[in-house]
Amino acid sequence: MADTAEKDAPRKEGVALATIGAFNGTEVTEPIDVHFNPVSLQLSINNQLKKNAKGIQYIGTTTMKLTMDLIFDSTDTGQDVTDNTRRIQALLGPEKPPGEKATNGPPPPKVQFEWGTIKFQGIIEGYKETIDFFSIDGVPLRSSVNLT
């Protein structure tokens, strides 16, 4: 995990808010502020091992995964909360014209999650969204997004 140039995390009433966005190698372009900071972050680190006649051998690959739940809530404005969550969905892969099938094209963009002193860079592997509150007119107002 590489650190980037120092930058202040966004603040809301004295609290550092987490952000996520595409990382171009030097900075995050168009960072997305989370509405509520995660309750916890789960970090897993795994080595790829192989059994052979001499025992267990390290193959040379170590992976790190960060998993979190992000809460978005637009109850106070009445705005469709998916306007925010679609921006995160867009980070899962390169944009393709409608109707075009996925190919072995470019990889998904590298992203950076930043919250206070924590900076984690990688590719979004999994996205799961739960919309659990709607306006009387059926507009989605609250959503939790699970990211890996």
- Residue 112 carries which side chain, given as an amino acid letter? Q
φ, ψ at 7 (rounded to 5°): -155, 145
Look at residue 15 in the predicted model and tell me its pLDDT.
Answer: 81
Average pLDDT, stretch 106-126?
93
Reported pTM: 0.76
CB 39 within 8 A of CB 67: no
Q: Which helix (H) or strand (E) holds 23?
A: strand 19-23
Question: Taking Cα atoms as reference points, which of 32, 12, 10 lies closest to residue 22?
Answer: 32
- Range of weakest confidence among 2-6, 48-52, 55-59, 105-109: 2-6
Q: Which residue has tokens 């998993």?
A: 67
CB 36 within 8 A of CB 49: no
Contacts of 46 (CB under 8 A, 6+ apart): 62, 63, 65
**Angle at CA of residue 112, ends 111 and 113, nearest 5°:** 125
Q: What is the rounded CA–CA span in Å between residue 41 and residue 64?
A: 13
Per-residue pLDDT reduced to its tens digit, 37-51: 999 999 999 988 888
Look at residue 7 in the predicted model and tell me its pLDDT.
Answer: 43
Per-residue pLDDT reduced to its tens digit, 75-94: 999 999 999 999 999 999 87
Higher pLDDT, 1 or 28: 28
